[in-house]
Amino acid sequence: MKKENKIVIYQTKTGAVEINLDINNKTIFLTQQQVGQLFNVQKAAISKHINNIFRTKELNRKSTVSILETVQSEGKRNISRKIEYYNLDLILSIGYRVNSVNATKFRQWATRTLHSHIVDGYTINKNVSQKIIVHS
């Protein structure tokens, strides 16, 4: 049986975000565009918050950003581009800075999850088998 590399982190009432789990590093990675979709804000807002997170040394770029090369077809050419992927630590930090309805719901979910974990000593994901896809 093939093991799925997906984990449910957060789902809004209207949609969800596909999140890939890096089993080796025990984290998830999203692109700037995917983080923007998660919190329903423009890439510029995400970029501003990322720059502030690194400027204030809340997090270290080297330990939170992974740069992967991807090849995409543009017309008849294959173009190689380097894409930044942000890990869970950076995604959480962004979520606590963004001002949007989705970010507020995310913070409420994260706070409930953390509260449950602290009070109960563990957290149960009741939807662990659920697959979530990005709605564009």
pLDDT, residue 135, reads 41
Backbone φ and ψ for 98, nearest 5 degrees, come out as -70, 140
Determine contact, residues 69/80, Cβ cutoff 8 Å.
yes
Q: With respect to residue 99, please indicate whether it lies within any of the assigned structural domains.
A: yes
Tally of domains in the chain: 1
Residue 135 domain-assigned?
Answer: no
How high is the pLDDT of residue 23? 63
- Residue 63 gets the label, from left (phi > 0), alpha (psi -120 to 50) or beta, of alpha
- In the chain, which stretches have pLDDT less than 70? 1-25, 122-136
H or E, element range at 63: helix 61-64
pLDDT for the residue 14:
53
pLDDT score of 25: 66
- The residue segments making up the domain with residue 31 are 20-120
As beta bridge partners, residue 80 has 71
- 13 within domain boundaries: no
Does the residue 67 lie in any domain? yes
**Is residue 7 domain-resident?**
no
Q: Would residue 66 count as lying in a domain?
A: yes
Q: Give the pLDDT score at 41.
A: 94
pLDDT at 18: 53
| pLDDT tens string 39-73 | 889 999 999 999 999 999 999 999 999 998 888 88
Is residue 41 one of the residues assigned to a domain? yes
Q: Is residue 5 part of a domain?
A: no
